[in-house]
Structure 1
Amino acid sequence: MLFAASCYPVRVPVAALPAALSQPCGARSRLSPLRHAGGLSAVPARHLLQQRPRPARRRAAAGVAAAPVQAVLGSASLLVAGAALGGILLGLLIAKAASDFFKSKEFSQSKALSENAILRAKVDELQQMVMRYEPLAYKSMRLRFTKGVNKAVILSLVDELLARKEVNIWWLPDNIERMLYFNVISLMLSVLDEIVEGMSMNFAGHNVKLSLTYLDLDSDGHPRTGDSSSSQAGGSGSPRALPAT
């Protein structure tokens, strides 16, 4: 016969019913009525083995079981972080050592000093040789350029461009277009001359000033007879005046 003597169903003899009913539900353990009723002999063994723990006991058991797992995970995470940090530091040390090694192989201070000394000796020898033929070449370098090209040469260039249809503004008359191109080319050459004039460059430790060689060309684009000799001699002739445009 089954009777709910406490919160859990247990089998209680009929003779022990008054004592079981006198106990409040949950006031004592589930076996307390049976102890008052005459012991545990009336409770089957399978009920004792199948008794489930309470929630507090279940949580405590889970915490005890999870503690070793958490300790192992913490140790593993610390080990992984230490290994990663050690790998980064080792990689940086290897990269620095390789960089220093390649720098020492590529650049040698003594070799660079000897090469610079040889180059400076060659430059000095070249300057001495040039000064023998052109005394002004030591402080200035003359560039043969378009400064001094006369009006006829620019107009012939513009006419050739117009004849080949390389440039064409169809809504402008030919004479206006011809004058426009002439002024544009003259302005570009003048600006370029002003940029180059007065420039200087550092050549082997010497500050060399740049200047332009004045070329006075004829209508065919050839240097005039009076200036050809000075140009062949290294451009030492004095600049000639530009023709009026």
Structure 2
Amino acid sequence: MRSRKYLAGRKSKIGFRQSWKNLSREDRNDLLNFLKVLGIILAVIGSIYFVGINGLIYIGGFWNIFTGEKGPTLGDTTAPPPPTFAPLAPYTNTETISISGFAEPTTEIILFVNGTESTRTVAEAGGTFNFPSVVLNTEGRNAISATATDGAGNVSPKSAELIVTLDKTPPEIEILSPQNGQAFSGENNQIHVEGKTEPGITVRVNENQAAMLADGTFRSTVTAAAGEIKITIVATDKAGNEKKAELKVSYAP
């Protein structure tokens, strides 16, 4: 019984070899290509069976991140999360600023300023993105937002707004006391300086920060030496704009 099975197997192998030899080179290539395609189909079916469609999508997304390539991902209908911005000063006196942040790696980031598209870039493999030269088109309040688009064309919701106020106007200074050219004398060599500016302003008197009241009133004291004293007052707003005022007084002990 065993000999019969062995002989049958031998005959089958011999028959296959003879059939293969009888095929032309073109027929052999066609058969090999068919077997390759069949192998790929079986591999895909096996992959779907073992890891599922979501697993294949995940693997495809990982490959895009690893290679840095951007292209459609089969079956991906999930929008990426909205981009997030790195902290930024809320006030500026320059029209061009730099904005950076984080998003899903390799997604295209579209930046909007006051609802209008401003510029685009692609997030790096680590998820960071940077816009080095963003133009603020409105003096005053500017609302900045962004979206992320992945390789499959899915668009994220808009990010939380980043508010940046463009202010190019220096603050005003009103000096209430002392008067320019005023003369002081006596044992008390403390000269009290008082004035008014806009609320929220930083004021320095001869490089010393003045005390500020909620209504913009500032107060400081200068210790006088005999002779002429120059008093320099510098007011700086949140955007970095400065206004300087100077006056001279004299003191005699």
Into which bin does the TM-score normalised by the smaller protein fall?
under 0.3
* TM score, norm. by length of structure 2: 0.23
The structure with more radius of gyration: 1
* TM score, norm. by length of structure 1: 0.23
* Bigger fraction of residues in strand: 2
* Bigger fraction of residues in helix: 1
